[in-house]
Structure 1
């Protein structure tokens, strides 16, 4: 074994360039794969682990108290197919007219529960203690201002006694917004009861529907008013991460394929160019298996180093990616981070993949006899590609170009691997160009008028701000009359419930000029009358709604019937947009919390901000950012991946050209001795792979276009209109067609210059 190690170490030192190429390829690929796997496992593992740990409810069901008794509700939890149940718990919806611990006013779903434990939906306390006496309440973690200083807050709802906050808690099932002791429920006048179920079988939505139907089969008709599926919670948990997953997956697969191709190419080239070395090893007594081991160890050393560094870099990059992907959502007790299995898989899997890839070409060394290996040399066998070379010689192409175009046919296997790497590089470039065009169009949607935008927030005392001197109507009038104003839109905020759904949602209510530009709509129209709703694709998907469906909004004991009249490209999956008339019917007298101002073309945005602040210190105006975080993130990461994978593809070309130059040293010396200039040698060498680059570009463009379309069609939180998907134009495609040539030329530049500088006397003397 020591002899194998010494021979392998000597081979690593002798082939330093190939060693560096392999290390860089594995480094880039490991980092790319680690990002994709880290994001994929983060969307599945943390939710499932925490959901099982807290015995999350597969179904959170609300029953009408006037149609079902507690005994009937409890009996439903003992039906066949129900693995465990909890309840019945009294459920009351309180109307909270003011902000509560950082959340806007609106309905508050309160459940009477004796303790946070139980067979289903074990609630975890974050701060404080559980409510055990009347007059106490525990708020859910959706109320963002929870800490020790928030304990003791008073919850004052219409028609209910004051309640003191004694704790904050979280539930993976999102079964309630707050909890009180059962003895408190009578004073809250509950009109519903809650049952929590875990089913024996709930692997698919069909299983869930069947199990829920079985559990509620004996309840009176109309007793079930709403039922929340854990599939909805799971989708909401990973909705933003799922948006990044398609393009991470594409780049991860491309990285793996490039690694396999280039490692195979490097090892194959090392075997072919090292025939004499193989023969000498066998002549010295190395067995065929030891010779194979020499080449595998020679490849594994840089692969292990590249994998370790790639894992380290990937780990450092994955954490901020996960922070972006899960930012702004409620994750309950789920710990979002890089799974240790991803690190282990990359550290063990990537070197193993490299070793398996290297084994196939290394077996050629196993089969060679010592005598044949020593006498074979490193030159291509006579007659390979001669027919093609002769045909090219008969054309009017310059001799250096015709010789270069014919070279790939002398090593068709190596040429095929090199072209495949170039194809993947072109695919990567094409996908990135398409994504960049789509995301820039998405980021600029609604901003085509070129008008600057100013956001004006109304000061609030609970946020240690100065309250405005003017009332709602006077503020809007002021903003319209200040110099530069073109359009003003007021926004009110209120928590609302959709009839038939357990969780509260945020309602944005707009007054004045349209808040949403028509270009942001993918279907339908803007809301006009009361109850008309505009929603995002993810909101509709999580609620099982579609354009035209009827909905009823509830708040403050009032209801407004309406319908989904429009769908935007993207938006908050927990919020809906509707008209100010809807707000007047749900919560009369509610004032706007924010105003959006569009300025006239050429108006000075900062001057307008200063004028607002001078007019009323209780108004906080800022120039709205013209950027888009999603666009910046996707374009940024796509560009990084493109640079990495294009560099890797160029390194593959570099290795191929380097091997070709070393194999053809005698031929190059002969050509230079009969008059070929160094410049012609460079042209011939670059042309030998430029043809592969051109063909690779033609093959890679349609694959890249298909990859781009697949990504934009599978971003769940955004629904791109056709105009943002069809981004390809003739100049773009022409430029992409040259991307393969550019990658090939970049990889061939250094060895081509080395070949051009080669001294004739030294080459022929060595021969």
Structure 2
């Protein structure tokens, strides 16, 4: 999210737009101020409305998260969410005609953005483009970009001090916060899958030791020490876990990306929201799986290696 704060004037007879923007620009941690307005628009062939948003100016457009095409950089240009593209059956590069307050508005779609609001049925252009249709249009709010590392709460306090009680200051909600309830479920699912994998590994080790009783007997007969036999069993478990972790991680990354993009496209947000875990994280998962397998195999390997030759011979026969 480019804008961390949204500011609205609580008093109709408050400061003018120029005075308000000057006040906002004086706060040290504010990097950019983008005036904006939202309104409902009608499109041909549809009974419902879409959201038409004017944000930023032609000189300083709002830096939307563009995942296809490019950002707004000229007159009558706009970016839209996947939901709007699906609703109208258009693609990036097409022109879209809509009606706002009985007046036509024609925009050129130059990019697709990540748009979690209104099912992705949002088209965003500059405020200057909307003023071509309605020269009297005033900003309904201002989106504030903060400098890197700035605390939104601290900036909100500074704004409240600078502007008094004339402004309504809100932090821009992050759509990713909606996933917080699912994190616990995902964590529990990972723990259950890890437990299942551990049980399967222990079963594999026990079955392998039992089925290879004759091999272990032969290894002892030719002079292998208990430590060497135990190391062989642990190595086999570690290699099995390594192959499983490599295959599982690769398949998980590919299928996970596809699933998230498919869900995003079907919900209107659009494909392109996948962020793969960093390579060090994936390597840590693989190394952790191998180390866990080695630790789980250490005790069965030690017990098997210490068994007497007579016990192994009686079980094998």
Q: Please give the range of the TM-score, normalised by the shorter of the 2 chains.
A: 0.7 to 0.9
Task: Report deviation, 1:753.
Answer: 4.2
Do 2:82 and 2:121's aligned partners in 1 also have CA atoms closer than 8 Å? no
Q: Give the secondary-structure state (helix, strand or coil) at the position aligned to 1:514.
A: coil
Q: Indicate whether 1:522 and 2:71 are aligned.
A: no
Q: Give the secondary-structure state (helix, strand or coil) at the position aligned to 2:107.
A: strand
In the aligned structure 2, how far is the partner of 1:644 from the partner of 1:714? 26
TM (norm. structure 2) is 0.74
Q: Give the secondary-structure state (helix, strand or coil) at the position aligned to 2:208.
A: helix
In the aligned structure 1, how far is the partner of 2:16 from the partner of 2:310? 91
Equivalent residue in structure 2 for 1:719, among 271, 285, 291: 271
Which residue of the partner structure matches residue 653 of structure 1?
Answer: 201
Distance 1:585-1:514 versus aligned 2 partners, 3 A rule: closer
Equivalent positions of 1:66-465 (< 5 A) are: 454-458=4-8
Do 1:493 and 1:506's aligned partners in 2 also have CA atoms closer than 8 Å? yes
Equivalent residue in structure 1 for 2:297, among 738, 741, 748: 748
Which residue of the partner structure matches residue 371 of structure 1?
Answer: none
Distance 1:543-1:571 versus aligned 2 partners, 3 A rule: farther
Q: Indicate whether 1:600 and 2:147 are aligned.
A: yes
Could you tell me which runs of 5 or more consecutive residues in structure 2 were left unpaired when the two chains were aligned.
none
Which residue of the partner structure matches residue 44 of structure 2?
Answer: 499
Distance 1:752-1:467 versus aligned 2 partners, 3 A rule: farther
Which residue of the partner structure matches residue 128 of structure 2?
Answer: 581
In the aligned structure 2, how far is the partner of 1:577 from the partner of 1:699? 42
Distance 1:678-1:617 versus aligned 2 partners, 3 A rule: farther
State the superposition RMSD in angstroms.
4.1
Equivalent positions of 1:608-627 (< 5 A) are: 608-614=155-161, 615-624=163-172
In the aligned structure 2, how far is the partner of 1:493 from the partner of 1:755? 72
In the aligned structure 1, how far is the partner of 2:78 from the partner of 2:258? 30
Do 1:548 and 1:563's aligned partners in 2 also have CA atoms closer than 8 Å? yes
How many residues matched?
A: 306
Task: Report deviation, 1:759.
Answer: 5.2
Equivalent residue in structure 1 for 2:34, among 489, 498, 512: 489
In the aligned structure 1, how far is the partner of 2:111 from the partner of 2:172? 25
Which residue of the partner structure matches residue 539 of structure 1?
Answer: 84
Q: Indicate whether 1:591 and 2:147 are aligned.
A: no
Q: Give the secondary-structure state (helix, strand or coil) at the position aligned to 2:46.
A: coil
In the aligned structure 2, how far is the partner of 1:593 from the partner of 1:749? 67
In the aligned structure 2, how far is the partner of 1:628 from the partner of 1:616? 32
Do 1:649 and 1:743's aligned partners in 2 also have CA atoms closer than 8 Å? no
In the aligned structure 2, how far is the partner of 1:521 from the partner of 1:665? 59
Distance 1:479-1:674 versus aligned 2 partners, 3 A rule: same
Q: Give the secondary-structure state (helix, strand or coil) at the position aligned to 2:56.
A: strand
Do 2:55 and 2:124's aligned partners in 1 also have CA atoms closer than 8 Å? yes
TM (norm. structure 1) is 0.34
Could you tell me which runs of 5 or more consecutive residues in structure 1 were left unpaired when the two chains were aligned.
1-445, 448-452, 461-465
